[in-house]
Amino acid sequence: MLPIEYKAQNYHEWNQERWDEYFLRLGLPDDEAKRQFFRQVVYDHFEHHNNHYPDFEIEDYEYSLIQLSVSEVREKVRFFPSPDLSEMWGLQYDDFEKRDYPYPIYQEMSKNKTPPFPPIILDSSNLKVNGWRVYGRPIHLIEGTHRTSYLLRMAERNVIGWESKHDFVLLTPKST
């Protein structure tokens, strides 16, 4: 579980601690991969993460920024038992395109052909299946269902190539 001291002050309230203040208060490292993990997962989704990953310990993982092709994402990355990530939000991408919807992630991805910030993925070999928690294998998507679904849908529609490379933050278990 994420330690309670990592929870943002006034979490999910109108006066939640600002990211820059949080970053300084915790003395977080300037490493891009770990900073992205803290920003997207710990700061934004603290309770969600602890609910879905009760056995997760931050110090048990190495954090790295990697690039994967869309075909590698299609073959290896899963979100819980979902067989196809493109089905999660892919049709939303199509709908937003028809209406030029002002959703920032859609707008950024349509313009730049890549996510505006890297989805967070995890080598799930150390995660234990527990009741309803059935993790994606071999790589589990922790954060970024919209971004990852949009990437897959963009490749399905030939907006980007299947071999185009995109940034991801990968968590891998430390050797014991």
**What is the per-residue pLDDT for 13?**
95
pLDDT score at 176: 60
Question: Domains of the chain: which residue ranges?
Answer: 4-173
Is-above-0.85 flag for pTM?
Answer: yes
Asked if residue 63 lies in contact with residue 122, where contact means CB atoms within 8 angstroms, the answer is no
pLDDT (0 to 100) of residue 154: 97
Burial class (CB in 10 A: 0-12, 13-18, 19+), 68: buried
Q: What are the pLDDT digits (tens) for 103-153?
A: 999 999 999 999 999 999 999 877 766 665 667 788 999 999 999 999 999
Average pLDDT over residues 58-73: 97
Q: Which pLDDT band holds residue 98 (cuts at 50, 70, 90)? A: very high
Check pLDDT > 70 for residue 82: no
Distance of alpha carbon 149 from its chain centroid, rounded?
11
Residue 40 and residue 134: Cα distance in Å, rounded?
A: 22
The 3-state DSSP class for residue 16 equals coil
